[in-house]
Structure 1
Amino acid sequence: MANIELDIWRGEWGLASIDLECLKVLTYMKFIGVPVKVRESNNPFFTPKGRLPVMRDGRTVLTNFEEVVEHLKSLHYNTDVHLNSKEAAEASAFTQYLRDKLYPAYQYAWWVDEKNYNDVTRPTFAKCLRIPFNFFYPSRYQNAAKEMIDALYGEHTDLREIEKTIYSEAEKCLKTLSDRLGESEYFFGNRPSSFDAIVFAYLAPLVKAPFPNGTLSNHVKGTANLARFVARINQKNFRHVTDEYNKQNAKKQSTGSQSDREAANFPNQTRNKILAALFAAIAMTGYAVANGMFQELKDFEHSRDYNEMFENEEEDN
């Protein structure tokens, strides 16, 4: 088998990738254990369709999840072999259900909500890109998301009404997912399927991204079995990513704590320096008085004043 290469958006917040589609492919490959060389890309401009992920296997170049799954099946890598026909049909129906109900809300939270976009989405994606592409691609993706929302709900519909509707539909979808999962480790038996990779790719970024407007994210986090599902898959398949993130985060917190301590000690340090200077000044003053220096200076000042006065009188004369 030729060496498989996968170009993806880089990770953040303990995620292997910040992108939904990249995370689908990467998680599926982890499930089936296919040897793959993963590269974090900083420029989708030269990809076949101007987007990521891109999987290369010799001359075969694939750019979406479904194509990747079918290609890997042809290489006898298939995580769905344990599904019976009923389960396969159910997984397919659920996948379309997610596309219809959860995907619009996902896009809204990431790209349409202005606060989330300005504070989290745009700077996160811009950090992944080279100049000048970091100015181009985030706004391009935002425009595409807005066009999709306009197509679904009407261009002139009140955005607040759209948000209310879109999140309501998404929450119903998440409730259905939660009921289907129950207390099981995966959605179909005790082995992961391609559907588990899809669900994880949807939910993990919502759980991890620090959105200021976290309506959808908070609903995922508040659904206990879905939150455990995300944590479990992340730990089993991307533990090295999580560990590295936790390590770096702890280092930042330690550096921050040291800076905070220094900042907290700054008033004390300043006070000590001032007291030391005052003490030195008092000591020098005492020494000066003891040695009659003040008296000499006083006499000198008086003599200078007298001389100036005499000079003035002479000038008057």
Structure 2
Amino acid sequence: MKFIGVPVRVRESNNPFFTPKGQLPVMRDGRKVLTNFEEVVEHLKSLHYSTDVHLNTMRTAEASAFTQYLQDKLYPAYQFAWWVDEKNYSELTRPIYAKALRIPFNFYYPSKYQKAAKDMIDALYGEHTDLREIEKTIYSEAEKCLKTLSDRLGESEYFFGNRPSSFDATVFAYLAPLVKAPFPNATLSNYLKGIANLSRFVARINQKNFRHVTDEYNRQNAKKHSTGTQSEREAANFPNQTRNKILAAIFAALAMTGYAIANGMFQDLKDFEHSGDYNEMFENEEDDN
């Protein structure tokens, strides 16, 4: 959307419960709800927004083949780094989600996403395979994939000429978190950072399309280090430092959640989401648009 200037309003949310698949982000255009990248691309094309108009048939086929290659070789390693590696999960991924999501969903969704990632790895490599062997294999395949991407990009600004395509957006979505996230076990991200043209590719898109995000992050980070207020120190140490303060509230929330599940209240909410009453909640907003 940034590449082609689609007018879009971003609403930050920390509650994926009412989303169709229990995941964020979700895009809504009127009554049409889109939950994955492919759906968004196709919907934008139907509205005559496309990043790929400059691609001929051969390049379109090449982009499609490379996208599948990323899905097969890089995505499993990406999931492994975020969710299956125990050090990364316990020290980075879970605390981030626990801080961002609402109680009690911050206890449910990280475990759900981790289980999905582990199930995928088990399906690919065997449930009883040694995890260290899986890590070695999965990162080796990912490194080959990154090397192939680097060779394809060369010294070009984008993968298919001087204009970005949906494939560039896909690659950026894979690489940017690996470059930016402070993984305790940084095997894959360190390898990526050592590939100069891919690192420049991420930095270039950040500067051109997400400069305000980077500037805001740097401003907040500088403020945190200069002032070091009590609330910021507590947030930085979440969840360890504040655990005792919210323990009672957590158990109360979990107890109420268990009661709600047992009595079918969540299903009632899901049914409400698909009802006319739920849709009417957006009527005024759509009239404004």
Within-5 A mapping of 1:1-317: 29-256=1-228
TM-score by length of 2: 0.78
Q: Distance in 2 between matches of 1:54 and 1:245?
A: 23
Deviations 1:255-292 (A, max 9, x none): 35xxxxxxxxxxxxxxxxxxxxxxxxxxxxxxxxxxxx
SS of equivalent residue, structure 1 residue 31: coil
Q: After TM superposition, give the deviation of residue 202 of structure 1 in Å.
A: 0.1
2:270 maps to which residue? none
Measured in 2, the distance between the counterparts of 1:109 and 1:164 equals: 12
- The alpha-carbon deviation at position 127 of structure 1 amounts to 1.5
Structure 2 unaligned blocks of 5 or more = 229-289
Q: Distance in 2 between matches of 1:42 and 1:221?
A: 30
Q: After alignment, is 94-103 or 127-136 more displaced?
A: 127-136
Between the aligned partners of 2:4 and 2:35, the Cα distance in structure 1 is 19
Cα shift at 1:253: 2.1
> 2:21, 2:121 → 1: CA distance?
22
**Quick one: distance in 2 between partners of 1:71 and 1:236?**
24
Aligned mates of 1:113, 1:234 — CA distance in 2: 27
Which deviations, in whole Å up to 9, do the C-alpha atoms of 1:222-280 show, x marking residues without a partner? 10000000001011100000000111111122235xxxxxxxxxxxxxxxxxxxxxxxx
**2: distance between equivalents of 1:68 and 1:127?**
28
Per-residue deviation, 1:38:
0.6
Partners of 2:17 and 2:31 in 1: CA distance: 20
Task: Identify the residue that residue 271 of structure 2 maps to in structure 1.
Answer: none
Separation in 1, partners of 2:58, 2:109: 41
Cα distance in 1, alignment partners of residues 90 and 27 from structure 2: 30
CA distance in 1, matches of 2:28, 2:227: 41
SS in 1 for 2:9: strand
Q: What SS does the aligned partner of 1:156 have?
A: coil
* TM-score normalised by structure 1 residue count: 0.71
Corresponding position of 2:281: none
Q: In structure 1, how many angstroms separate the alpha carbons of the residues matched to 2:122 and 2:160?
A: 35
Task: Identify the residue that residue 260 of structure 2 maps to in structure 1.
Answer: none
CA distance in 1, matches of 2:197, 2:226: 33
Q: How many angstroms does 1:135 deviate by?
A: 0.5
RMSD: 1.0
Greater Cα radius of gyration, structure 1 or 2: 1
Report the identity percentage. 88
- Report the Cα distance in structure 2 between the residues aligned to 1:232 and 1:176, rounded to whole angstroms: 20
Question: 1:251, 1:239 → 2: CA distance?
Answer: 18
Distance 2:69 2:12 in 1: 30
Distance in 2 (CA, whole Å) between partners of 1:58 and 1:141 is: 29
Number of equivalenced pairs? 229
